[in-house]
Amino acid sequence: MIIVSDTSPIANLIVVGYIHLLPQLFGTVIIPDAVYQELLANGINHPATQIVQTVNWLEVRSVTDQQQVGTLERDRNLDPGEANAIVLALELQATQLLIDERLGRLEAKRQGLRITGILGVLLAAKSQALIPKVHPMMDALIQRANFRISPRLYSEVLQLAGETTQT
């Protein structure tokens, strides 16, 4: 299984204290250099910086096709992390790409990649009994990570998790 991730799923799981779900679900997670740099951008004392520099399950790789990265940034209006993650996932023939941003998800699907985001990670974690409920995790993402979840999507995820809005 080859899993490539964009910045958002890693950064947001760090903020809510559930980064350990990624290696439990996927083993090794591969990120492009650009995502690694985005994760370090908050400075040496930031939790994201400290975690990504010390975990052994995160592997940083270079993207070969920088021209394709540039095309995605310019023509599809993707940020460097998204563009690099998509191209790296294509180059490695990844099993799955972890990506949350709408434009990046649309482009990844257009390129034929299998994608999931942080909410899919939470659902997988619940189905494997790594977390008891998805509801409090989504609330933490909204409150602590300023993660946007539409009311409709929130309800859909709860339904998929077999949960109601009451905790």
Per-residue pLDDT tens digits of the chain, which is 167 residues long: 999 999 999 999 999 999 999 999 999 999 999 999 999 998 888 788 889 989 999 999 999 999 999 999 999 999 999 999 999 999 999 999 999 999 999 999 999 999 999 999 999 999 999 999 999 999 999 999 999 999 999 999 999 999 975 54
What would the two tokens of residue 33 be?
């250099």
Instruction: Output the pTM of the full model.
Output: 0.93
Q: Where are the strands (E) in the chain, listed by range?
A: 3-5, 29-32, 58-61, 96-98, 115-116
Question: For residue 165, what pLDDT is reported?
Answer: 58
Q: Which domains does the chain have, with CATH numbers?
A: 3-118 (3.40.50.1010)
Q: Which pLDDT belongs to residue 166?
A: 52
Instruction: Quote the tokens at residue 144.
Output: 């602590």
* pLDDT attached to residue 91: 98
**Residue of 166, 101, 111, 114 whose CA lies nearest to 135:** 166
